[in-house]
Amino acid sequence: MVAASHKLYAQTARNSSFIPISQHYQHTNKQLLESRLISLLDDCKNLHQIKRVHAQIICYGLHQSSFVLTKLIRMLTKLNAPMDPYPRLIFQQVKQPNPFLWTSLIRGYSLQRPLFESILLYNSMRRHGTGPVSFTFSALLKACTAALDVGLGRQIHAQTISIGGFTSDLYVGNTMIDMYVKCGFLDCGRKVFDEMPDRDVISWTSLIVAYSKRGDMESAGGLFDELPTKDMVAWTAMVTGFSQNARPREALCFFERMENAGIETDEVTLVGVISACAQLGATKYANWVRHVAEKSGYGPANNVAIGSALVDMYSKCGDVEEAFKVFDKMRERNVFSYSSMIVGFAMHGRANAAVQLFHEMVKTDIRPNGVTFIGVLTACSHVGMVEHGRHLFTMMEKSYGVTPTLDHYACMVDLLGRSGCLEEALELVRTMPMDPHGGVWGALLGACRIHANPDVAEIAASHLFELEPNGIGNYILLSNIYASARRWDDVARVRKLMREKGLKKNPGSSWVEGKKGEIQEFFAGDMTHVKSREIRQALEDLMNKLQLHGYEPNLSCVPYDLSDEDKKRILMTHSEKLALAFGLFSTSAGCTIRIMKNLRICEDCHSVMCGASQIASREIVIRDNMRFHHFKDGKCSCGNFW
């Protein structure tokens, strides 16, 4: 071992432009030399530079200095360099390593081969009679966190108690909280927190984040209120907490409070705010937050995370062109940027653009991940590129090392099912290597609606009713599939099942942004809007014109056994039609009408939108619960495939 490491040193010295020490330095006192070498190590940016300094350490005769070598190993850890063989050999050279040197190696291993080596080293350290320092426990706890091994974490916890003196250490306490919450034992983390004699803002923030990750914003908020000195990170944790829990309004509200409290904000805060605006899907907020970010000096050109968040925001606000402009401006791009753009294109029916961008991406050195494949597979699905999708699906693991998850199987079932290969889709569900989840069966059920196949639908639905007993959408889908086959008895049976379970259909609603960015909401069948007279008038005008062009109401979109007249009346007051009528008379000619709705758009509304875009020469963009439809000159971007 010793011989090997000498060889290594010789090599290091040979490879570096090593300068012999002057006589002068040999008399310099050791401590001064040590601190000089440490600051040299601090400036190292890569392995090569570290090895050069290492050669100097040896020449100065400091290869026994735990102090300097600890720094060296920490720098290597920072660079994510393997602990074997280089740092390990350095360590083995030292006859009497101090606890810090032991610990630096334990810490290094904690990131790479988490538990095994770290614990082994800790045991030999104890056998050598070297007492641990608080950093030792932090390192061990980090190793447990990385391995998500709460069992060992508890044992380390017990050690800190039995050895004594460490339970009151702030760093150990904070790392312990982190270990418990990352392993999913929030209550244990809370207990550590409650028993800590001293806490700092980091202890509080760890818990706040833990509660918000669990979706419990009330507890997170309670802690935040009690936190005596709130810093930027703590505030940001609340903003992103609300944002990640799909509560965008509260996120924005917190951001405003944060600014009013005079707290600085940085790019991390802004990313959370941008994501909240994306969820609101309103251009008013999009433009506002873009302005706020740029005022603080952050934009697509200088920050990847901000850029990627903006790409996502613009595509969710219905402006995929702007999303691409942002993407284009980004100087640095990563897997998030590409995935957001690919998903954005797919969402807007720009399947070819999505697939093309994917192929551009794999030419760079950025590796696609699971999300990227979701994006590109849905894109294939939307244009019926079955063969290409199949090819990508087989390549994702083989060529890109991304193991397909349940969601990827759902995409494949969707791809096969949509294109009419229902039997093959069912076969895939039956032969897939893991148990299908609701998404997989749901994709199959959706395909059965498109291809009016009640038999396969029954199979999918029976699984869905077990997996998602309260998923109202599944019951409605099945009943619609029965309705389109005119199996009214079965429709009644499903409706009864829904009633028994106490499930209520969400009322359909659509909303548009008015001239000043104000939101106008419409509910299906509700004619009590202040402008309902104008709406009715605009709707009738439109229908008359459409009928001259051969439009007939598509009565099969009403899944009830009613008279044709009743069906027509119901169809006419679908919320998106009301919103369209409002948009037509309340905005000036040539202005794009943007509508959002909470449910999937029905076929009748879809064809009305197509017709209206032509007759009124308007671009219409509708975001339903899944994706965007761009209507222009009588055609929709989805190619009637949704």
Give the integer Cα–Cα distance in Å for 102 and 132.
Answer: 9
Closest distance of CB 476 from DNA, Å = 12
Give the integer Cα–Cα distance in Å for 458 and 426.
Answer: 12
Bridge-based pairing of strands 519-523 and 593-597 is unpaired
Of 73 and 546, which CB lies nearer to DNA in the complex structure?
73
In 498-611, DSSP assigns E strands to: 509-513, 519-523, 593-597
Give the integer Cα–Cα distance in Å for 160 and 169.
Answer: 10
Of 437 and 632, which CB lies nearer to DNA in the complex structure?
437
Closest distance of CB 540 from DNA, Å = 34
Alpha-helical (H) ranges within 95-247 are 99-112, 114-127, 134-147, 150-163, 170-182, 186-195, 201-213, 217-226, 232-244
What does the block give as tokens for 546? Answer: 């459409």
Of 171 and 523, which CB lies nearer to DNA in the complex structure?
171
Of 70 and 510, which CB lies nearer to DNA in the complex structure?
70
Of 55 and 210, which CB lies nearer to DNA in the complex structure?
210
Write phi, then psi, for 360 (nearest 5 degrees).
-65, -40
Give the integer Cα–Cα distance in Å for 510 and 623.
Answer: 9
Of 442 and 583, which CB lies nearer to DNA in the complex structure?
442
Closest distance of CB 11 from DNA, Å = 28
Of 393 and 551, which CB lies nearer to DNA in the complex structure?
393
The Cα-based distances of 180 to 173, 189, 218, 383 in angstroms read 11, 5, 20, 46
145 contact partners, CB below 8 Å, separation of at least 6: 153, 175, 178, 179, 182, 183
Of 33 and 374, which CB lies nearer to DNA in the complex structure?
374
470 contact partners, CB below 8 Å, separation of at least 6: 501, 503
Of 437 and 495, which CB lies nearer to DNA in the complex structure?
437
Residue listed under structure tokens 């002057």: 22
Residue of 572, 574, 573, 578 whose CA lies nearest to 593? 578
What does the block give as tokens for 559? Answer: 């899944």
Of 5 and 134, which CB lies nearer to DNA in the complex structure?
134
DSSP result, 266-294? -HHHHHHHHHHHHHHT-HHHHHHHHHHHH
Closest distance of CB 589 from DNA, Å = 33
List b or e across 542-551, with b for residues whose CB sees 16 or more CB atoms inside 10 angstroms. Answer: bbeebeeeeb
Closest distance of CB 596 from DNA, Å = 15
Of 243 and 573, which CB lies nearer to DNA in the complex structure?
243
Percent helix / strand / coil, the chain, rounded to 5: 65, 5, 30
Residue of 335, 334, 307, 333 whose CA lies nearest to 322? 307
What does the block give as tokens for 271? Answer: 């990313």
The amino acid that residue 577 corresponds to is: K
Closest distance of CB 29 from DNA, Å = 24
Closest distance of CB 624 from DNA, Å = 10
Of 251 and 538, which CB lies nearer to DNA in the complex structure?
251
Give the integer Cα–Cα distance in Å for 134 and 169.
Answer: 7
The amino acid that residue 492 corresponds to is: A
- As to burial, measured by CB atoms within 10 angstroms (0-12 exposed, 13-18 middle, 19+ buried), residue 351 is buried
What does the block give as tokens for 232? Answer: 């930027």
Residue listed under structure tokens 């498109």: 450
Closest distance of CB 593 from DNA, Å = 23
Classified as helix, coil or strand, 170 is helix
Using the 8-state DSSP alphabet, how is residue 601 labeled?
P
Of 414 and 513, which CB lies nearer to DNA in the complex structure?
414
Using the 8-state DSSP alphabet, how is residue 332 labeled?
S
Of 341 and 546, which CB lies nearer to DNA in the complex structure?
341
The amino acid that residue 450 corresponds to is: I
Give the integer Cα–Cα distance in Å for 52 and 48.
Answer: 6
